[in-house]
Structure 1
Amino acid sequence: EEEIEAMIQEGVNLETLITPVRIITKDGRLAGLECQRNKLGEPDASGRRRPVPIEGSEYVAPLDTLVVAISEGSDIDCISVAGSMEIETDPKASTVKVDMETLCTNRPGVFAGGDLVTGPNTIVEAIAAGKKASVMIDRYIKGEELKQPRTVRLPDKYIEPIEGSAELAGTARVDTPRASVQWRKRGFAEVEMSLSVEEATREACRCMRCDLEFTKPHVEEEMEEKALAAGDESA
């Protein structure tokens, strides 16, 4: 949503429910794109209202540059069973088949993850798959069992809360400052600016400090033990 708002601020015209029909050329050069408008039809079995073409709504958008970015997929031809690597794939989805627990393919020692396995997904999911695959590759090289019980490392070091953080815990999130619209239109430089020291500190103070659930009780126990020990010595 933030990206869409920023795009509109920069003057980009967002067209929805539009289907590209054909590319128009003139004298061997791009001249435009023929499109057709749609309306939302009745919900299908999944509950989704699919676009339905509006008869007679065709129009030509004049263009001198066209960037095609529709339904991009992975090129799996070279690694499929029919290819040189003989790895099982799903041709319809353009993905590689793996054991989702280990990310191992049907070929021992070959692992896959990210969009190549799930299809178009988020960067976060791709990074997570990369970290998981690195663990599995390390185990494979060491000759260890790939499927092992997960171990969770809980925080064990107590860090004193920042003074005043309790008052800021319920405050609103600090909005990331952005470069002016005029500057953003000039090129492809980074548009999100850095937080000031004050803003960064304020944002850090909003942390809910989940670690205290594991670390603070231990500190209190140690303090009680020290107090008891001090009392015994004085007695």
Structure 2
Amino acid sequence: MFDSIEFLTRVNLNKPVRVGGRVGVIGGGNAAVDAARVALRLNECQSVQVIYRRTRAEMPAFAEEVDALVEEGAELRLLTAPAAILARNGTLTGVRCTRMELGEPDESGRRRPVPVPGSEFDIPLDTLLVAIGEDPDLKFLGRESGIDVSRRGTAMVAKETQATGRAGVFAGGDAVTGPDTVVAAMAAGKVAAEMIDNYLRGAAVQRHYDLVRPSHYVPPVAPAEQEDAPVEMPVRVEVSLLPVAERLGGFAEVELTLTEEQAMREAGRCLRCDLQTEDAKRQLVNLDH
């Protein structure tokens, strides 16, 4: 039995990881999907079942990653919640599960899974990977702390500065947003560090945006003569994927590279949001003076 992050870390560091033939993964996020796809690539693994308590539509994992997971042979056990770990003589033998149905929406906006009475069943497993979300423990923040906590149990901050309601205290990452990406947490940390520096120097706790001059100016698109004139939108280039039969033999990159022609087409889809307004043009002109 492994925590999914520990499992992924060990595999990426080439540390020994032993899994049985039947692997189960609990969770529906990107960590769960990553763990399942990695397990499929290990020689000992014969089958992978992903156990998730909601439907596929509610899975927080990226849709294309879930598609790839199914293509590679994993089974999705949807509307299924683990109720107990089964073991014999200290060795995992499986998971006892309960079938679920969707009820009213919860705080996240997704419909809350409700157990179906008398629907328990067992899934035999040799290895279990756990990839369920964790909530921040902010119980130590009493009302006198000056830091507000949302109904979801996360710290409330000013979006632009990561500042809490208490002067000199900043927060970011999953403690503010709930489960999110590492990149989002790092971005929040970068903003918080800048604001903490401002606070300690006695400067205003506010973001400062520097206008950087692009290498060249692209004129805004001229408006159409007719408001209902059709707009031709370039279609996103579909990246070629490694055939499934070649994926499971190792850890080769699944998404292949673009051709030169495809790369040029994709680059041509850039909307150049920084340059599409007259205001932006005026600001660029002012930089010359």
TM-score tier (shorter): 0.5 to 0.7
Gaps of 5+ in 1: 162-168, 222-235
Which residue identity is paired with 1:203? E
Cα distance in 2, alignment partners of residues 124 and 29 from structure 1? 37
Q: 1:137-183: CA deviations, max 9, x gaps?
A: 332343311136x657386664468xxxxxxx722100122222123
Report how many residues are paired: 205
Residues 94 and 66 of structure 1: CA distance in aligned 2, closer, same or farther (over 3 Å): farther
The answer to whether 1:200 aligns with 2:258 is: no
The answer to whether 1:145 aligns with 2:204 is: yes
Q: 1:22 aligns with which of 84, 95, 106?
A: 84
The alignment's TM-score, normalised by the length of structure 2, stands at 0.57
Identical columns (%): 42
**8 Å contact 1:35–1:58 — kept in the other structure?**
yes
**8 Å contact 2:198–2:205 — kept in the other structure?**
yes
The alignment's TM-score, normalised by the length of structure 1, stands at 0.67
Cα distance in 2, alignment partners of residues 193 and 107 from structure 1? 49
Secondary structure at the counterpart of residue 194 of structure 1 = coil
**8 Å contact 1:115–1:126 — kept in the other structure?**
yes
Cα distance in 2, alignment partners of residues 201 and 189 from structure 1? 25
**Structure with more relative contact order (C-alpha pairs < 8 Å, separation 6 or more):** 2
- List aligned pairs for 1:70-219, cutoff 5 A: 70-74=132-136, 80=140, 90=149, 95-96=154-155, 98-105=157-164, 109-122=168-181, 125-147=184-206, 151=209, 153=211, 158-159=216-217, 170-210=233-273, 211-214=275-278
Cα distance in 2, alignment partners of residues 140 and 68 from structure 1? 40
Post-superposition shift, 1:203? 0.4
Residues 120 and 45 of structure 1: CA distance in aligned 2, closer, same or farther (over 3 Å): closer
Cα distance in 2, alignment partners of residues 217 and 104 from structure 1? 33
Secondary structure at the counterpart of residue 240 of structure 2 = coil
**8 Å contact 1:176–1:195 — kept in the other structure?**
yes
- 1:5: which partner in 2? 67
**8 Å contact 1:157–1:215 — kept in the other structure?**
no
Residues 192 and 48 of structure 1: CA distance in aligned 2, closer, same or farther (over 3 Å): closer
Which residue identity is paired with 1:202? R
Cα distance in 2, alignment partners of residues 154 and 214 from structure 1? 16
Cα distance in 2, alignment partners of residues 19 and 39 from structure 1? 10
